[in-house]
């Protein structure tokens, strides 16, 4: 579960006390959201999700990822050596592909040239972690997840369904630009899948949506760094501070769970 392939990086460790935006499931106001940062930061991405490592089992503890819960299967695992790692569970970023050369953690060079369109972007949610140190697959994890110089400010392992909207998969990685955004942010030029796409990893049969679940904050190291949680079973008593699923999913982004329209903070509103 912690293995990282030579082409991609997949990780499963997290922590952090979760600072949650307190908004209801069908409510949105301008004062609720921090504006996207004006200057995108440089990063790098590999991909996972089609290699036997499910996006539904991320160490943030958020559980199954549904297409009706924006941004759907567009999720990431973030390097645990990145400054963005702390309190990142559930956070969202707008990401773009950069057609620039870069290296991996061992200095191997890549010429870029994988982007579909560098003006297009999409929103991804943090559901997992990409650990630098993982003994079972030390070579590949060190190759991608240890925040080397060309990782920029953040290396992420992106779901293959998000990755292939931005770039071709032939090199297994891409240079990236990113900025934090509210999880209901709608990009001006949304990226889309081209050609043959990877078959979706649907949630397990019987999986419940966020508003049907209750979570407990983790108080161990994993819970005190990235912000991971545990789900409470139907017959379990809570053993810590509880968080309802509608509150854990920030900015009311799971309105689609009930089939209702999602209200987006889009590019036009950003410029107000």
119-145 confidence digits (pLDDT tens): 999 999 999 999 999 888 788 889 999
Is position 122 within any domain?
Answer: yes
Q: In this predicted structure, what is the pLDDT of residue 3?
A: 38
Is position 8 within any domain?
Answer: no
Rg for the chain, CA atoms, rounded: 17
CB atoms within 10 A of CB 234: 7
Residue range of the domain that includes 158: 30-264
Q: Is the pLDDT of residue 10 over 70?
A: no
d(CA 93, CA 127): 12
E strand map for 187-236: 214-217, 229-231
Nearest to 155 by CA among 52, 43, 63, 64: 43
Tell me the CATH number at 181: 2.40.40.10
Query: What is the domain count for the chain?
Result: 1
The pLDDT mean for the chain works out to: 79
* Residue at token pair 């799971």: 254
What is the mean predicted confidence (pLDDT) over 96-114? 94
CB under 8 Å to 250, separation ≥6 — which residues?
A: 20, 21, 23, 90, 91, 92, 182, 183
Q: Is the pLDDT of residue 64 over 80?
A: yes
Is position 7 within any domain?
Answer: no
pTM of the model: 0.81
Is position 4 within any domain?
Answer: no
Q: In this predicted structure, what is the pLDDT of residue 33?
A: 40
d(CA 269, CA 253): 17
Q: Is the pLDDT of residue 93 over 90?
A: yes
Is position 16 within any domain?
Answer: no
d(CA 269, CA 157): 30
User: What tokens does 151 get?
Assistant: 């990782």
* Residue at token pair 């854990």: 248
**Which residues make beta-bridge pairs with 167?**
115
Q: Is the pLDDT of residue 34 over 70?
A: no
What is the mean predicted confidence (pLDDT) over 232-247? 75
Nearest to 93 by CA among 49, 45, 56, 140: 45
Is position 232 within any domain?
Answer: yes
């Amino acid at each position: 579960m912690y293995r990282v392939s030579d082409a991609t990086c997949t990780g499963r460790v997290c922590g952090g006390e979760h600072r949650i935006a307190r908004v209801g499931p069908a409510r949105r106001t301008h004062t609720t959201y921090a504006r996207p940062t004006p200057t995108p930061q440089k990063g790098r991405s590999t991909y996972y999700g089609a290699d036997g490592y499910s996006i539904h089992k991320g160490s943030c503890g958020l559980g199954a990822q549904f297409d009706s819960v924006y941004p759907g299967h567009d999720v990431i695992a973030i390097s645990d050596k990145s400054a963005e790692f702390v309190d990142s569970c559930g956070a969202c970023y707008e990401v773009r592909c950069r057609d620039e050369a870069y290296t991996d953690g061992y200095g191997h060079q890549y010429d870029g040239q994988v982007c579909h369109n560098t003006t297009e972007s999409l929103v991804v949610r943090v559901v997992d972690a990409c650990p630098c140190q993982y003994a079972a697959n030390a070579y590949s994890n060190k190759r991608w997840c240890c925040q080397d110089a060309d990782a920029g400010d953040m290396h992420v392992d992106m779901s293959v369904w998000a990755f292939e909207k931005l770039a071709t998969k032939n090199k297994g990685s891409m240079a990236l630009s990113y900025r934090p955004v509210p999880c209901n942010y709608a990009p001006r030029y949304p990226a889309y899948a081209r050609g043959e796409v990877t078959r979706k990893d649907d949630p397990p049969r019987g999986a419940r949506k966020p508003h049907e679940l209750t979570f407990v904050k983790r108080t161990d190291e994993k819970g005190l760094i990235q912000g991971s949680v545990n789900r409470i079973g139907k017959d379990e008593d809570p053993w810590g501070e509880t968080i309802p699923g509608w509150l854990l999913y920030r900015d009311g982004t799971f309105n689609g769970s009930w089939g209702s329209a999602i209200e987006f903070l889009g590019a036009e509103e950003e410029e107000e």
